[in-house]
Homo-oligomer: A and B are copies of this chain.
Amino acid sequence: MQSEPIHDIAHLAHVEMLTPKPEESLRFFVDVVGMQETARKGDSVYLRAYDDYLHHTLKLTAAKQPGMAHFALRTWSPQALERRVKAVEAVGLGIGWTEGDLGQGKTFVARTPDGHNLELFYEAEWYTPPPALKPALKNQAQRFPARGVNVRRLDHMNLLASEVTPTRKFFQEQLGMRMTEQIVFDNGVEMGAWVTATNKSYDIAIARDSTGTRGRFHHMTYALDSREEILRAADIFLEHGVFIETGPHKHAIQQTMFLYVYEPGGNRFEVANAGARLILAPDWKPIVWTEAERKKGQAWGLQTVHSFHTYGTPPVEHAEDKPAKKAGS
């Protein structure tokens, strides 16, 4: 009889983003993106979208270079956390336990095969809105901000990796996530993979880094309620002089409506919407996209911009690592 699916990871919990322009990045996330500050500690500001239930989903930390310091996954239970820690330790990728962070209890630190820092935890504090931010409907985490782009909740994150396969297998085998879609080129090289722990079609994407660098960050993404809101977000980014790298358009892969911009610190940031598309099938077979299919561009024919394949954070000294025009300028 087939082995059973693992259900230990609940969801992507937060991302720690590094920015060399902390004040400008903060203003971007609060005023333009519409997020809420929940705390400050040291060089970090903690932020969340209006319907994120957690204390924070974005930790914005001042640093010399843009990039991602770590990302965190929340488990379904304390037992699930123990099981995943054992699986990660078994392949030598575990680092150790910490006391956690604001809003977050006992935490296990690890690394992906490509070197991205990763946290696993179960204990979490729920966000309680102050009176001025109390929502009209009590099944919502916080009042709708009606400010800027109004992102609803953290959706997913995309990692650049020197090699996709080991990191993708790590998420499948050590963490029990499922692969939903994949790009494999004619030479057999895996160019990208999408894995999920939920009914969303992906929580984490892994893309091949054309510079060959290990452990870099491609982008993180918040969800909006409709495709129309993605278009309105483009209007708002335009008004605020935010650099739009590509979109709004529809991905062929995963069919998500997307819009990519660069936040002031130089990190790529996305707002997206998946419509009512969910992966409900327990026996979903990964969709494998070929090199020829990728050459067709995005769903409605837009060619993928070159920088999307080459630019990541932190920047590296490499002929291929070029942001599109005026990134972070």
Question: A residues touching B (Cβ–Cβ < 8 Å)?
Answer: 1-2, 4-5, 7, 10-11, 32, 51, 53, 74-80, 122, 124, 126, 135-140, 143-144, 146-149, 152-153, 155, 181, 198-200, 223-229, 231, 234-239, 241, 244, 246-250, 252-255, 257, 273-278, 280-284, 287, 299-302
Q: Residue on B with the closest CB to A300?
A: B234
Question: A275 contacts B225, CB within 8 Å?
Answer: yes
Contact of A287 among B74, B122, B138, B198 (CB under 8 A): B138
Measured in the bound complex, the distance between the Cα atoms of B122 and A2 in whole Å is 12
Measured in the bound complex, the distance between the Cα atoms of B229 and A239 in whole Å is 19
Measured in the bound complex, the distance between the Cα atoms of B225 and A139 in whole Å is 21
Q: Residue on B with the closest CB to A123?
A: B283
Given contacts A146-B236, A155-B276, A237-B300, 19 further A-B contacts (CB under 8 A): A7-B76, A10-B281, A32-B146, A51-B277, A53-B281, A53-B284, A136-B238, A136-B241, A139-B255, A139-B287, A146-B147, A146-B239, A198-B280, A226-B228, A234-B250, A235-B299, A244-B300, A247-B300, A302-B302
Measured in the bound complex, the distance between the Cα atoms of B299 and A4 in whole Å is 41
- Chosen A-B contacts, 11 in total, with CB atoms closer than 8 Å, are A122-B282, A124-B283, A136-B239, A143-B239, A146-B149, A153-B276, A199-B200, A199-B278, A231-B250, A234-B299, A246-B301
With a cutoff of 8 Å between Cβ atoms, the chain B residues found around residue A153 in the complex are 276, 278, 280
With a cutoff of 8 Å between Cβ atoms, the chain B residues found around residue A227 in the complex are 225-226, 228, 231
Question: A299 contacts B236, CB within 8 Å?
Answer: no
With a cutoff of 8 Å between Cβ atoms, the chain B residues found around residue A137 in the complex are 238, 252, 255, 299
Contact of A299 among B5, B149, B238 (CB under 8 A): B238
A238 to chain B, nearest CB (A): 5
Question: A7 contacts B10, CB within 8 Å?
Answer: no
Measured in the bound complex, the distance between the Cα atoms of B281 and A117 in whole Å is 22
Measured in the bound complex, the distance between the Cα atoms of B301 and A254 in whole Å is 24
Q: Residue on B with the closest CB to A281?
A: B53
Question: A5 contacts B77, CB within 8 Å?
Answer: yes
A305 to chain B, nearest CB (A): 10
Of residues A1, A181, A283, which shows the largest number of chain B Cβ atoms within 10 Å of its Cβ?
A283
Q: Which 3 pairs show the lowest CB-CB distances between chains A and B?
A: A225-B275, A7-B7, A223-B276
With a cutoff of 8 Å between Cβ atoms, the chain B residues found around residue A237 in the complex are 300
A243 to chain B, nearest CB (A): 8
